[in-house]
């Protein structure tokens, strides 16, 4: 059994760890509230814009402005992987690594796959197995639509110039603080929904459907990527808050066990000293 000094040192160390994990939990909780409000307000708009985009693209051919919807034989794929810059957030990052790797192995085993990483962890880990063409590690320092739109525009240009035949986004979708769902969404080409253009709504297009698509598709794609980054950002803080809460609880349980061990050891030491004193007194009497 460890001596009393060692146990006291361990109790002190665990107490310091608890202070750190508790502080990290409170920081993430504060950031989560803001991030959750942002993605909750944005999600309906982004989904409706994507729905409208798919409806229009279904009735516009490539020559009429639907170049973003051009279907090609897939030989080179770009995966946009969204992770975090820091760890200590449970399985948040590892779920992206596993999801991306299994998806690539199942669907693009014979294709050339490259990674565009948003977040330091994704660049570091996925870079060991795949070629990372770009690392965006500062985006979370100032997470705005304009900053994400710059990344989206570069990705769109890579599709238009034929560098990649297909582009997908892998990220964690925020459900609640304890649950994040790995999503793999096709970014380009724009997916056409069968029968979407044959709905019962009679739209009047001005100036024309093709011109509307030309302006709407880039905006919709930028919004789609911004939503994914926002989702991932909220998921990160939810995962970190949950992980730090569990770490604090585990540290508290461990400290209580050590306190019990310490008290037992201290009681045993006192009992032993009393027995020694009693034994010595009896020896003197005899």
Return the pLDDT at 61: 55
Which structure tokens are listed for 69? 């919807």
**How far is it, in rounded angstroms, from Cα 178 to Cα 174?**
9
Residue range 4-20+244-279 forms a domain whose CATH class is mainly alpha
Report pLDDT for 278: 82
Q: Read off the pTM.
A: 0.84
User: Residue ranges per domain, the chain?
Assistant: 4-20+244-279, 23-196+210-242
End-to-end CA distance of the chain: give it in Å, rounded.
35
Count CA atoms within 13 Å of residue 22 on its CB side.
11
Q: What is the pLDDT of residue 246?
A: 94
Sign of CA dihedral 128, 133, 138, 139: negative
Transcribe 208-259 into DSSP letters.
Answer: -HHHHHHHHHHHHHHHHHHHHHHHHHHHHHHHHHHHHHHHHHHHHHHHHHHH
C-alpha span between 256 and 262 (Å, rounded): 10
CATH 3.40.1380.10 fits 23-196+210-242, yes or no: yes
Pick out the chain residues at pLDDT < 50: 62, 64-65, 196-198
Residue-level pLDDT at 65: 46
Task: Report which of 189, 191, 185 is spatially closest to residue 228, judged by C-alpha positions.
Answer: 185
């Amino acid at each position: 059994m460890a001596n009393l000094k060692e146990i006291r040192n361990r109790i002190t160390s665990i107490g310091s760890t608890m202070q750190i994990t508790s502080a990290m939990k409170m920081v993430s909780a504060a950031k989560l509230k803001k991030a959750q409000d942002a993605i909750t307000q944005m999600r309906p708009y982004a989904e409706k814009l994507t729905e409208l985009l798919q409806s229009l693209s279904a009735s516009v051919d490539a020559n009429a402005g639907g170049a973003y919807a051009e279907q090609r034989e897939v030989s080179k794929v770009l995966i946009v992987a969204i992770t975090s810059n820091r760890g200590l957030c449970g399985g948040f990052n590892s779920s992206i690594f596993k999801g991306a790797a299994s998806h690539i192995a199942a669907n693009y085993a014979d294709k050339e796959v490259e990674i565009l990483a948003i977040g330091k962890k994704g660049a570091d880990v996925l870079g060991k197995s795949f070629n990372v063409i770009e690392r965006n590690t500062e985006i979370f320092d100032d997470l705005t639509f304009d900053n994400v739109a710059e990344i989206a525009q570069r990705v769109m240009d890579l599709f238009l110039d034929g560098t990649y035949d297909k582009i997908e986004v892998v990220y964690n979708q925020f459900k609640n603080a304890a649950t994040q769902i790995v999503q793999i969404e096709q970014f380009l080409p724009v997916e056409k929904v069968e029968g979407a253009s044959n709905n019962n709504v009679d739209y009047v297009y001005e100036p024309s459907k093709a011109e509307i698509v030309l302006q709407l598709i880039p905006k919709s794609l930028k919004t789609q990527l911004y939503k994914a980054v926002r989702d991932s950002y909220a998921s990160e803080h939810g995962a970190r808050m949950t992980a730090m809460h569990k770490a604090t609880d585990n540290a508290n349980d461990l400290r209580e066990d050590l306190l019990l061990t310490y008290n037992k050891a201290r009681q045993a030491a006192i009992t032993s000293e009393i027995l020694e004193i009693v034994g010595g007194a009896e020896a003197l009497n005899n």
